[in-house]
Amino acid sequence: MHSSPQTIALFGNSHQADKFKCALQIILKLQQLGLDVLVAEDFMPVLQEYAPNVVKQVNSFCVGNCEADLAISIGGDGTFLHAAERIRRRAIPILGINLGRLGFLADVKPEMIDVALERVASGNYNISERSLMEVNTSGEVLDSYPYALNDVALLKHDNASLIEIETRVNGELLTKYVADGLVISTPTGSTAYSLSVGGPVLDPQSATFCLSPVAPHSLTMRPIVLRDDVDIKFKVHSRTERFLLSVDGRSQSFLTETEVTLRKADYNIAVVHVFSNSFFRVLREKMMWGEDIRG
């Protein structure tokens, strides 16, 4: 049990106007429960267009200056990452409402919204702390937020041949990956990009990083799981002298003379769960573990 929140901040995808009905349902339910509602300024225009009377009583907030007891992301895991990026170090727990395919971060289905909000209002929920990765670059500066909740990827450009990624752990050479790229995931991100390139599923509470090569030139290259109290340095070699660095999907091109360092961030993101064992439940449902999928 946790203390009952008084102020709830809403985050949504401003490019998905068809999701506004769910957002209005959430606003009305929260107001019925006696909670104050704030809406992210980049999501407010969508609501104002479709339901001006409802949002008249709702204030907006600057996405870089969110002050609330709890946040709700409306959309999917991508919207959840968007909310986490804007909350940053404010230690505001996030509840994810999933309006698309079942997600690992946004795991509340639309038909369970009212029940979920009632539990939140009464403090009947759990919180899991999720670790992030901090990204540092030598030379060129990373334009985007230098923290990843899911993963960091070093990738070749579309028109490039294979790249070589020299990888050192606490100064010691691990290997030189020759591949289309390399995905470094947190436990939370193990079910995202990393999984699609053959990485293992990690328990979200495990203190680990996973390195998974993308289309490696050698079949002997396999994913490796490391403790997350290490510094990992990367030096990329490419014929085009450039590579892509992706931080939770935010991509930027860098010269190969740029060295990339990853380490565990000094803060976590708090994820709200209103149903028990939600990770394992979603894992079973999303990946159909144990299901007979034969025709």
Instruction: Say which of 36, 77, 107, 151 is annotated catalytic.
Output: 77
Q: Give the integer Cα–Cα distance in Å for 48 and 24.
A: 10
Q: Give the integer Cα–Cα distance in Å for 256 and 225.
A: 25
Structural domain boundaries in the chain:
7-125+274-287, 133-265
Phi, psi of 6 (to 5 degrees): -110, -30
pTM, two decimal places: 0.91
Structure tokens at 153: 């990827």
Q: Give the integer Cα–Cα distance in Å for 284 and 153.
A: 27
Pairing between strand 172-179 and 181-185?
A: unpaired
Residue 281 pLDDT grade (very low, low, confident, very high; cuts 50, 70, 90):
confident
Query: Does domain 7-125+274-287 bear CATH number 3.40.50.10330?
Result: yes
Mean pLDDT, to the nearest integer, of 266-293?
A: 83
77 is catalytic: yes
Residue 109 pLDDT grade (very low, low, confident, very high; cuts 50, 70, 90):
confident
Q: Is the pLDDT of residue 242 over 90?
A: yes
Q: Which of 73-77, 103-107, 140-144, 154-158 shows the lowest mean pLDDT across its residues?
A: 103-107
Answer for the pair 31, 57: CB distance below 8 angstroms, yes or no: yes
Query: Does domain 133-265 bear CATH number 3.40.1390.20?
Result: no
Please write the tens of the pLDDT for every residue from 179-231: 999 999 999 999 999 999 999 999 999 999 999 999 999 988 999 999 999 99
